[in-house]
Structure 1
Amino acid sequence: MSSAAGSLVAEELPKDRLEVLFDELGVLMGQRNAIDSRIVEIVAEMDRDNLVGMTGARSIAALVAWKTGSSITNANTIAAIAHRLPEFPRCAAGMREGRLSLDQVGIIAKKAGHGSDEHYAALAESATVDQLNTALKLEPRPKPEPAPWAEPQRSITKTTAEQCVRYRMTLTHDEAATFDAALASHQDALISQWKRDHDTGERPSDQAPPLPTMPDAFMSLVKTGWDAEVTRRPHGQHTTVVVHLDVKDRIASLHLGPLLTAAERQYLSCDATCEVWFERSGQVIGAGRTTRTINRRLRRALEHRHPTCAVPGCGATRGLHAHHIQHWEDGGTTELDNLVLVCPYHHRLHHSGGITITGPAPNITVTDSDGRQLHSSSLARPPNRPPPDVAPYRGPTGERADWWWYTPFEPPPPQTN
């Protein structure tokens, strides 16, 4: 046999190479499913024993995304399975044995009804995630009848068309009356202004704008409210707090409001105009200085330095509070090295003692309730144990689903005593 013929025989055919790669992929996916199962069990234990609060994370999904370095979508899937793990023992066993993937069990845990574990565990053996999603949509959902005394649900829905955007709003009767009165008031004002500017008693000109309509009145209402809000709160979270402080007992209370703890007082006055009235024996003896608020230029510098919440593991970007690391009432200055942006959740958690933020900024240190320093990096590291010994992942069959012959899961009827 020639050397050319021998090389053709020795060369591996593409289909044979693909089979080898598929075999390795099946083994790896089976091991990955088993590893994901153990991750879900660990998260379920943290969720069951309420161990999340001491870490400073706002939810179990946020903690998973932080500590595993995964996306919030993947973390939500893990958290959904962990939260309903006792309801789906067969699906959990399939993932533990490498037969079901995290996404397959995740879509079931997010949408399946109670008592459907056996039904979907069998279906997931051969169905893709999209097919499982379709099957879950076919599952009938009982619609509870609203109580006759229940208040109607307020809502605003938005529908985008090619040429315009449509809004549909549902209000209670008293709110609708307020809205109608405000809208009518703005329309009357616009019409009065139009008549003053364009109604001269002569024949209307083709260049004159049309008479103001109800949409014009609605936009006037929106712009007026917007301008008033910008004037009142020019620096994001800026507000005004009026506090009465007893100089003898060092007890503070809001004006015409309840008593405040030290943590509540510091939380409310972090970025605020704070009027402090000193009292002794119930008599006002003077007023204190006003706190220095965060001006726009300083806030922009803070946002450039920390575009997200400064607490590790939190990626919040909206509604951030400017926090004084050393509080102003303890001598802290309103300067860049004494300020940091945190989300409302972690701001309140700090003042309640859940986490501790120390400076100076930007090299701040955040510790949890046990004094452990929080880091933004994940827990991922090289493995030091062999992978799980499970069968290779067979995966869905890939066949087209014939939903005509599919029997959706029927929730059991409610039990009556």
Structure 2
Amino acid sequence: MSPTASLAQDERLSVLFDELGELTGQRNAIDGRIVEIVAEFDRDELWAAAGAKSVAGLVAWKAGVSPSRAETIAAVAHRLNEFPRCVTGLKEGRLSLDQVGVIAQRAAEGSDEHYATLAAAATVTQLRTALKLAPKPLPEPEPESDTQPEAEPAPEPSINKTTDDQYTYWHIRLPHVEAATFDAALRSHQDALIAEWKELDETAARPPMPTTVDAFLRLVETGWDAEAARRPHGQHTTVVMHVDVKDKVGSLHLGPVLLQHDRQYLSCDATCEVWFERDGRPIGAGRTTRTISRRLRRALERRDLTCVVPGCGATRGLHAHHLRHWEDGGLTELINLALVCPYHHRAHHRGLITIVGPADRLVVTDHAGRPMTSTSLARPPTQPPPDVAPCPGPTGERARWWWYEPFQPPSPPARN
């Protein structure tokens, strides 16, 4: 029986409210300390060293919270220095993480004092309404000029490519009509990718929302598949890589030399055609048998279900990773394969994480050799709760928005 069950109703409510306010204040203060820890993860990018895709993914994994709450914690941590008053209210137990999270996710720079005062009385819903009423920042005015610019000739369509040690850069210039077609295709593929992303289980750690780059790659792949279908004996367009078997050096066909992790990454999931060379002379082409069959792929998907890296849970776009690298003699068999998402696949080949087989005794470690497990770090506390005042909570009165004065961002300095 509850210790307050024998009390009168009003007295019982008073006792329970007192305890609720005290526990809420302690929880808010604990959330404030969690935000400071996550801010350190974010500032030094320690989440990548731990094998996570993002700081929010690390919080969801290690703290055992939902992805949406992890995003809120990450948003506050990322803007910790921009909202010191709001974060102080959180650490002192007066404001909740949800209140500060709404501010950090939507408020303009320089509005810390305004929203810290408002949050002392406003609910989370009222804070969202106040942020919607805030004026949008105006673009900086263009400098006035008395001289009329000379008419320039219409630019010709062009595609330029430059390459450095790590990346290849494409610069595409199209007339407005062709650019509109290109934009429409990108939007269509991005909408489809986002629809697939939204269908994923929200209780699991989801990959980042698809970007324009993901849509562009889907557009390219779709064009490849359509072209291959029109050719009577056409195969899927492939990337061609040349590998010197003596020096273990790889390069793209008519392209730059690849780093070791990029060479192994390309050959691992059978996404490219490999030509072997010795002393600059071809000695044979890699067989496509390193590509897993549909039957083997189905068996692999039924066994692993998701990315095998603990804390990930990605289910779309998974790669079939050779636990013993294909170029080192690893076989394309179920015992030597594991499903990994593209992020963790590349992280493995770059040495950020290590995936060691065989598949029935899989061990995943981070860059420091610490085993990665899917369990959170939550455990029974060994220290007393923070000594803070009970949380009073929002006052809860009805907001009269016609009296409310939204935060006004400072005007940009005038140009001379």
Compute the displacement of 1:18 (Å).
1.8
In structure 1, the partner of 2:365 is 367
In structure 2, the partner of 1:413 is 411
Q: Say if 2:266 is the partner of 1:271.
A: no
Compute the displacement of 1:278 (Å).
3.3
How far apart in 2 are the matches of 1:177 and 1:376?
44
Specify whether residues 355 and 177 from structure 1 end up closer, same or farther in structure 2 by C-alpha distance, changes over 3 A only. closer
In structure 2, the partner of 1:201 is none
Counterpart of 1:52 (choices 41, 47, 50) is 47
How far apart in 2 are the matches of 1:20 and 1:401?
29
In structure 1, the partner of 2:21 is 26
Q: Say if 2:299 is the partner of 1:295.
A: no
In structure 1, the partner of 2:89 is 94
Preserved CA contact (<8 Å) 1:239 1:272: no
In structure 2, the partner of 1:340 is 338
Preserved CA contact (<8 Å) 1:291 1:328: no
Letter paired with 1:410:
Q
Query: Which stretches in structure 2 are left out of the alignment for 5+ residues?
Result: 143-148, 156-174, 185-221, 231-235
Letter paired with 1:279:
E
How far apart in 2 are the matches of 1:335 and 1:82?
44
How far apart in 2 are the matches of 1:178 and 1:404?
45
Counterpart of 1:386 (choices 384, 387, 395) is 384
Compute the displacement of 1:226 (Å).
9.8
Preserved CA contact (<8 Å) 2:270 2:291: yes
Match runs of 1:97-246 below 5 Å: 97-144=92-139, 172-176=176-180, 228=226, 240-246=238-244
How far apart in 2 are the matches of 1:93 and 1:178?
48
Equivalent residue pairs, number = 340
Specify whether residues 102 and 262 from structure 1 end up closer, same or farther in structure 2 by C-alpha distance, changes over 3 A only. same
Preserved CA contact (<8 Å) 1:47 1:82: yes
TM-score of the two chains, using structure 1 as the length reference: 0.75
Give RMSD over aligned pairs: 2.9
Percent sequence identity is 69
Query: Which stretches in structure 1 are left out of the alignment for 5+ residues?
Result: 1-9, 152-170, 181-223, 233-237
How far apart in 1 are the matches of 2:181 and 2:319?
35
How far apart in 2 are the matches of 1:266 and 1:404?
62
Specify whether residues 32 and 298 from structure 1 end up closer, same or farther in structure 2 by C-alpha distance, changes over 3 A only. same
Compute the displacement of 1:122 (Å).
0.7
Preserved CA contact (<8 Å) 2:140 2:412: no
Counterpart of 2:257 (choices 252, 256, 259) is 259
In structure 1, the partner of 2:37 is 42
Q: Greater shift after overlay, 75-84 or 328-337?
A: 328-337
Q: Say if 2:68 is the partner of 1:62.
A: no
In structure 2, the partner of 1:167 is none
Which structure has the greater CA radius of gyration?
1
TM-score of the two chains, using structure 2 as the length reference: 0.75
How far apart in 2 are the matches of 1:384 and 1:249?
55
Compute the displacement of 1:255 (Å).
1.6
How far apart in 2 are the matches of 1:342 and 1:146?
49
